[in-house]
Every structure is written in structure tokens, then in C-alpha cells.
């Protein structure tokens, strides 16, 4: 029976879950938990925050399954949208975006590194820390497009903005990241 449930669409699973089918909810959770967790982790830089946000997202889905409308997009986009809103309410800008690079590196030291292609751990830490210091409107796009490899159209749908806005904000975010990393390298060179 469980293997049959895994084959159902998200909409069917959500309907079954709304009627109290625990196996259907478990299948939805298994299918989408990692995407929600990764988004929350990249946005917050803290594993415990990502775990809490992920739990809250799925609790929201249990409480109000009727809020999801399949004609507006895939369930994963809906869930990431909930995570995005919960992160906005969860944190103040000073909690994440105002971190100094050194503080952010420390915060990320215990998290799993999603950048397997980076050659040096120190470069990874600097990049992750720089991402955490971006304002949330830019950080969201770096997370969605560069880390989660969503298309511009998917990111636009998730964020409720035009594709052109996604492109311009992502371009600006990448410029800010490059400047932060370059400035850090200059400061490191001056200190030696």
C-alpha cells in the first residue's frame, strides 16, 4: 500500500492527508521536506532555524490544506513560499542579514556544506558568509537560482514578481557578493 501511495500526485496526497490519512501526509513530507529544509538553511545559515521552519511549514500544511491551489503552481513552490513568509516573521534583519562575515562563518561551521565543487573550505566559508549578509530580497534569489538551481521563471513564481525583477536582483546580488568577497580578500592581504 505504501508504494502505491508514493505514486500519487501531490494534490491527491494532500486530499487524502486532509481526510486524516497519515501515510499520505508522510509521503508528502518525504517528497518535499528536503527542499524546504535546504531553502530555510540557506536563508538562515542555522540548522536549528531550518529545522524549526520546516516543521512549521508542514504544520501549516496540516492545519490548512485547502490553502494550496494546484492551478497556481506546484506544491513545492507553495511550501517554499510558506517557509519564506515564516522566515520573514521569524527573524529580524539584525539576526541574519546584519552578521559580520566572521560571525556568519562561525554560524555556518556546523552546517553541511552544499558547495561540493569549491576547492577550499575557507573559500566556501567566505561565500556562505557573504550570502548570509545579503539583504533578504537578494539572498532569496541567490538561494533559489544559484544554490537550488531554480529557473528565473520558477523563482519569479515563488516570489510573486516578474522575471525581469528576478534577473535584475540576481545580477545585483552577484555584484554585491563579488564586492564582499573581493573586499575580504583585500583586508586579509593587508593583515599579512
pTM tops 0.85: no
Domain ranges of the chain: 1-91, 95-192
CATH class for the region spanning 95-192:
mainly alpha
pLDDT digits (tens, 9 = 90+) for 61-98: 989 988 998 888 899 999 999 999 899 887 644 344 44
Highest mean pLDDT pick, 63-67, 120-124, 164-168: 164-168
Domain 1-91: which CATH number of 3.40.190.10, 2.40.180.10, 3.40.50.2300, 1.10.1740.10: 1.10.1740.10
The mean per-residue pLDDT over the stretch 150-161 comes to: 89
- For the chain, what percent of residues have pLDDT higher than 90? 42
3-state secondary structure the chain: CHHHHHCCCHHHHHHHHHCCCHHHHHHHHHHHHHHHHHHHHHHHCCHHHHHHHHHHHHHHHHHCHHHCCHHHCCHHHHHHHHHHHHHHHHCCHHHHCCCCHHHHHHHHCCCCCCCCCCCCHHHHHHHHHHHHHCCHHHHHHHHHHHHCCCCHHHHHHHHCCCHHHHHHHHHHHHHHHHHHHHHHHHHHHHHC
Amino acid at each position: 500500500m505504501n508504494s502505491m501511495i508514493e505514486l500519487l500526485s501531490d494534490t491527491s496526497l494532500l486530499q487524502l492527508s486532509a481526510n486524516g490519512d497519515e501515510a499520505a501526509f508522510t509521503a508528502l513530507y518525504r517528497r518535499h521536506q528536503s527542499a524546504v529544509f535546504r531553502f530555510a538553511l540557506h536563508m538562515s545559515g542555522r540548522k536549528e532555524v531550518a529545522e524549526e521552519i520546516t516543521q512549521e511549514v508542514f504544520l501549516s500544511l496540516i492545519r490548512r490544506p485547502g490553502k494550496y491551489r494546484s492551478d497556481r503552481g506546484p506544491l513545492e513552490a507553495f511550501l517554499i513560499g510558506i517557509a519564506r513568509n515564516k522566515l520573514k516573521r521569524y527573524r529580524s534583519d539584525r539576526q541574519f542579514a546584519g552578521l559580520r562575515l566572521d560571525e556568519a562563518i562561525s554560524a555556518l561551521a556546523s552546517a553541511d556544506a552544499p558547495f561540493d565543487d569549491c576547492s577550499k573550505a575557507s573559500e566556501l566559508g567566505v561565500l556562505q558568509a557573504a550570502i548570509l549578509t545579503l539583504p533578504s530580497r537578494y539572498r532569496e534569489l541567490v538561494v533559489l537560482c544559484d544554490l537550488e538551481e531554480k529557473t528565473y521563471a520558477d523563482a519569479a513564481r515563488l516570489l510573486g514578481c516578474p522575471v525581469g525583477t528576478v534577473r535584475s536582483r540576481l545580477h545585483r546580488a552577484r555584484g554585491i557578493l563579488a564586492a564582499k568577497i573581493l573586499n575580504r580578500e583585500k583586508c586579509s592581504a593587508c593583515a599579512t
